[in-house]
């Protein structure tokens, strides 16, 4: 890896994407918010309450999440090898992916879409890597960081922090930078959706607080199932508007938390990927996929 010009984080903040970073009794308002936690509140306040206020953990996850993390690990391995002066064959990347899958697979990984098997998802992840490998070898992109964790304030006088984990940050030189994000989703994002996407624009705000000179910043999504790349940029005014919208949302969350709610359930098809059915007032019993035992 290139010698980083970004600020190093304490080790307790530099863990994987699903690891807690603060003591379990720390209230949500004193912990960093993330794009993911804000999205959860927007989609279903009840789910936000269970996950981020009550901090109820469940021994389940959807297989889409599991395969996404294995693919991210394999791409990180690939770039670590390249920046160490070794260009691994695709077989070595596929073997790393397979080893991680076998080592980390557990009964709580649930297949929600009944028409697909676990093997389907394993092959889908490997195909994503194969497609990416063929398209981007010999991986001479100017990689500055991979899987980089940031905790930052939108502005210094804000009373809350944001957290983000960049998949990859490239330094093109002369103040030109790119933030890259890998997606294993079944559909690629439209240009219009990319132009209003919050996640990478938020990361741009965080990165720009750590860099001395930014003349341009491109936001790049790699849709690995489709082999498509989508790019976008933000103006300073758009970033200021984003900060304002995030502040308003955090203010709403803090007010609801201080008042003890209400955190209303919002039923959507995303309920199929939610494992808080026992706690949810809109549901009864377990998420059916838990009962079906489709993890094998």
**Residues within the interface to ligand SF4 (CB under 6 A):** 44, 46-47, 265-267, 270-271, 274, 276-277, 280, 282-283
Q: Which residue lies nearer to ligand SF4 by CB, 47 or 72?
A: 47
Q: From the CB of 27, what's the least distance to ligand SF4, in Å? A: 20
Contact 181, 204 (CB under 8 A): no
Count of positions (residues) in the chain: 296
Q: From the CB of 265, what's the least distance to ligand SF4, in Å? A: 3
Q: From the CB of 105, what's the least distance to ligand SF4, in Å? A: 24
Under 8 Å CB-to-CB from 56, ≥6 apart: which residues? 50, 276, 279
At residue 284, the 3 state secondary structure works out as coil
Q: Which residue lies nearer to ligand SF4 by CB, 40 or 149?
A: 40
Q: Which residue lies nearer to ligand SF4 by CB, 239 or 271?
A: 271
Contact 279, 50 (CB under 8 A): yes
CA distance 92 to 139: 15
Q: Which residue lies nearer to ligand SF4 by CB, 44 or 205?
A: 44
Q: From the CB of 268, what's the least distance to ligand SF4, in Å? A: 7
CA distance 211 to 216: 12
Q: Which residue lies nearer to ligand SF4 by CB, 240 or 264?
A: 264
Q: From the CB of 200, what's the least distance to ligand SF4, in Å? A: 25
At residue 40, the 3 state secondary structure works out as helix
Q: What is the CA radius of gyration of the chain?
A: 20
């Amino acid at each position: 890896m290139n010698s980083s010009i970004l600020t190093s984080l304490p080790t307790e903040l530099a863990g994987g994407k699903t690891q807690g970073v603060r003591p379990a009794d720390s209230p949500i308002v004193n912990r960093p918010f993330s794009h993911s936690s804000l999205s959860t509140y927007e989609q279903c306040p009840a789910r936000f309450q269970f996950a981020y206020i009550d901090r109820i953990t469940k021994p389940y996850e959807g297989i889409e999440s599991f395969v996404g993390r294995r693919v991210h690990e394999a791409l990180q391995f690939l770039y670590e090898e390249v920046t160490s002066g070794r260009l691994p064959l695709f077989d070595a990347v596929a073997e790393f992916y397979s080893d991680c899958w076998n080592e980390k697979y557990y009964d709580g990984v649930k297949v929600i879409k009944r028409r697909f098997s676990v093997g389907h998802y394993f092959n889908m992840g490997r195909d994503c890597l194969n497609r990416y490998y063929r398209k981007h070898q010999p991986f001479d992109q100017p990689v500055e960081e991979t899987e980089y964790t940031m905790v930052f304030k939108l502005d210094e006088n804000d009373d809350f922090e944001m957290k983000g984990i960049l998949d990859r940050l490239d330094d093109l030189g002369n103040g030109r930078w790119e933030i890259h994000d890998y997606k294993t989703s079944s559909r690629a994002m439209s240009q219009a959706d990319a132009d209003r996407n919050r996640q990478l624009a938020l990361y741009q705000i965080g990165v720009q607080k750590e860099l001395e000179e930014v003349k341009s910043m491109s936001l790049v999504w790699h849709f690995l199932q489709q082999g498509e790349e989508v790019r976008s940029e933000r103006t300073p005014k758009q970033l200021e508007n984003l900060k304002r919208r995030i502040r308003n949302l955090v203010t709403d969350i803090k007010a609801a938390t201080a008042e003890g709610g209400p955190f209303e359930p919002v039923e959507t098809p995303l309920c199929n990927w939610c494992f808080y059915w026992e706690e949810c007032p809109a549901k009864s019993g377990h998420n059916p996929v838990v009962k079906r035992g489709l993890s094998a």
